Each structure stands twice: as structure tokens, then as C-alpha cells.
């Protein structure tokens, strides 16, 4: 049972693998914002080009 306590094993690893199979977190974020994603990405590129505010549902700068 000890191996489940190490980082990268158990549930965390399974969740990461599932996310990769679905196209990654960025794909899921784009789906959530829908048609607004491109506009939000342009705004993010203008006001936060260094991606300082990257926590939660991050939109990558254009």
C-alpha cells in the first residue's frame, strides 16, 4: 500500500492519464468557453502576455 502514497501514483496518475486521453486540459477549457475562447485569448494576450494569472481555467495568451 505504500506505493499509493508517492506522488504520481494511484488516483493522481489515473486522472492525469484520463485527461491526456481526452485531449488535455486546454481542450476542455476551450470547450467550456465555446465561441468566446478566441476573443478571450486575444484579451489575455493584450493584458497578460506573460501569463501571470494562470491559475484555474487558464486561457493561454494569443
How far from each other are the two terminal CA atoms of the chain, in whole angstroms?
45
| Residue of higher predicted confidence among 5 and 58 | 58
- How far, in Å, CA of 52 to CA of 45, rounded? 11
pLDDT at 10 over 80: no
Helix or strand holding residue 47 (H, E): helix 37-47
Q: Are the C-beta atoms of residues 58 and 40 closer than 8 Å to each other?
A: no
H-assigned helices in 2-36 = 11-21, 24-33
Whether this model's pTM surpasses 0.85: no
pLDDT at 16 over 80: no
Amino acid at each position: 500500500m505504500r506505493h499509493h502514497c508517492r506522488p504520481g501514483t494511484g488516483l493522481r496518475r489515473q486522472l492525469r492519464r484520463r485527461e491526456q486521453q481526452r485531449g488535455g486540459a486546454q481542450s476542455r477549457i476551450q470547450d467550456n468557453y465555446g465561441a468566446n475562447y478566441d476573443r478571450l485569448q486575444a484579451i489575455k494576450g493584450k493584458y497578460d502576455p506573460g501569463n501571470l494569472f494562470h491559475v484555474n481555467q487558464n486561457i493561454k495568451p494569443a
